[in-house]
Structure 1
Amino acid sequence: MLRINLPILEFVEARLNGHPEVGKKVFEAGKTFIQQGSRISKVYFLLSGIAKCYIQEDNGKDYIFEFLGKGEVVGDIEAIRQEKCLCNITAITEVETLVVPQALFNSLLESYPAFNAMIMKELATRISQTCIRAAYQQLYPVEYALLRVLTLENAQQIFISKKDLAAYLGITVRSFNRTVKELRQKKIIDTQGLKLDISQEALVKILNRFDE
């Protein structure tokens, strides 16, 4: 749910520390620093904070692909393919980034096979995780998908708004609230927030039941 990539960040910081073309930039919560359909000249590595990667449909609805944490890189696809931005990137919390020019980023890819392999693995992971999530959203009911997301949110000790969780699941806020109400009636999550109110063993049994 919340992706991090410390090896990539460590690699970049070790080789670009003090580089005259590289700087740091902080974005306040709610700031969109990559705009869908725009052109950018920088690649951003997250040093701290949480951001969301999403597309906005013509009807104004958002679909969130992933939540991004420390070490994640954005703007890499645009740098490699030299095309307009595919998605929006918006800070959920205050986000500090390492800002690298596209030309320098591409130079790293060409000069360091290890870095190239890291980026390829990162791109492959994005595709894999997106496919898996799309599959269980199609094959399983909303209750199952929501429980999986809440399990990850609780485990990673992060807070995501209802609106963003609904956009991540590809459902309306109304459907999200209805499912939450049903889970509360079953005493699976607490009555105030979205914290799981059952044991890990009981949760596993519930999730396994959907596979039967």
Structure 2
Amino acid sequence: MQSFLDLIPQGKLSDEAYHALASRIITRRVAKGEILLRKGDKMRKHYFVKSGLLRSYTLDDNGKEHIFMFAPEGWIISDIGWQVPGKEADLYIDAVESSEVEVVEDGLISPTDQPSEEAIQRLTNRIYVLQKRIILLMSASLRERYLDFLATYPAIAQRVPQKMIASYLGVTPEALSKIRGDLTKQDRHQ
């Protein structure tokens, strides 16, 4: 998938609606570390990752970072709180790697557009991943959470620093290192 527009099946939108949506999409390069969204922003933008890797996160009162999600190629990342009228962004979004993204202004679709089955399925999958993550954070061991991270993001485990994975899992880098070491030892003995 090369573009956000690839998510829309041919003929699903009228030519007018398709061109209106296309006119709201801007492709841009993003430098590693560049912040696209800051907590408190009121801009309504969504980012489709063409190449590279983005992440969303929040900072607590002590300045500690808590990663909410990663967005590798083909994923859309945003602050969904914008769907609530008058709501400001709760998250920061930045580039973990130099990336190329499509910025979709305002809503992903207009109120008169009908989302495609693929778009609905992608949204449903993302909601499922978030639901599963919340349940794991409440009840699973670090080992189980780490294995789920590897299953959810198989292509990025080697692309991000261990401290980011630890932040995503809600643990210290040292605790993650211990679990990774234990899993490596277990694999050697099998």
Picking from 25, 31, 34, the partner of 1:31 is: 34
Task: Please name the residue that 2:102 is paired with.
Answer: 98
Q: Compute the displacement of 1:152 (Å).
A: 5.2
Deviation at 1:19, TM superposition (A): 4.9
| In structure 1, distance between residues paired with 2:130 and 2:30 | 26
1:111 aligns with 2:112: yes
State the match for 2:62 in structure 1.
59
Report the counterpart of residue 156 of structure 1 in structure 2. 155
Matched, 1:133 2:104: no
Structure 1: which 5+ runs fail to align? 189-196, 203-212
Q: 1:139 to 1:38 in 2, by over 3 A?
A: same
What TM-score do the two structures reach when normalised by structure 2?
A: 0.74
Residues matched between the structures, number: 181
Specify the code of the residue in structure 2 equivalent to 1:134: I
1:1-212 matched pairs, under 5 angstroms: 8-11=4-7, 15-16=18-19, 19-75=22-78, 77-82=80-85, 83-102=87-106, 105=107, 108-115=109-116, 121-150=121-150, 155-156=154-155, 158-184=158-184, 186-188=185-187
User: What TM-score, normalized to structure 1?
Assistant: 0.68
Larger CA deviation: 131-140 vs 24-33: 131-140
Question: Which structure 2 residue ranges, 5 or more long, are not aligned?
Answer: 11-17
* % same residue: 21
Secondary structure, in 3 states, of the residue corresponding to 2:46? strand
Cα 1:16/1:99, change in 2 over 3 Å: farther
Report the Cα offset of residue 119 of structure 1.
5.3
Give the number of the structure whose residues are more often helix, by fraction: 1
1:168 match: secondary structure: helix
RMSD: 3.3
Which whole-Å deviations, capped at 9, do the CAs of 1:87-106 have from their partners, x for residues lacking one? 1111111121222321xx36
Moved more, 91-100 or 159-168: 91-100
Alignment CA distance shift 1:78-1:71 (3 Å) = farther
Per-residue CA deviations over 1:133-186 (Å, capped at 9, x if unaligned) read 232333332123223334555x436522101110111111222223234334x3
Per the TM alignment, residue 28 of structure 1 is displaced from its structure 2 partner at its CA by 0.8
Q: For 1:17 and 1:23, locate their aligned partners in 2 and report how far apart those are by CA, in whole Å.
A: 13
Question: Deviations along 1:103-133, whole A, 9 cap, x unmatched?
Answer: xx36x33232135x66555444333212212
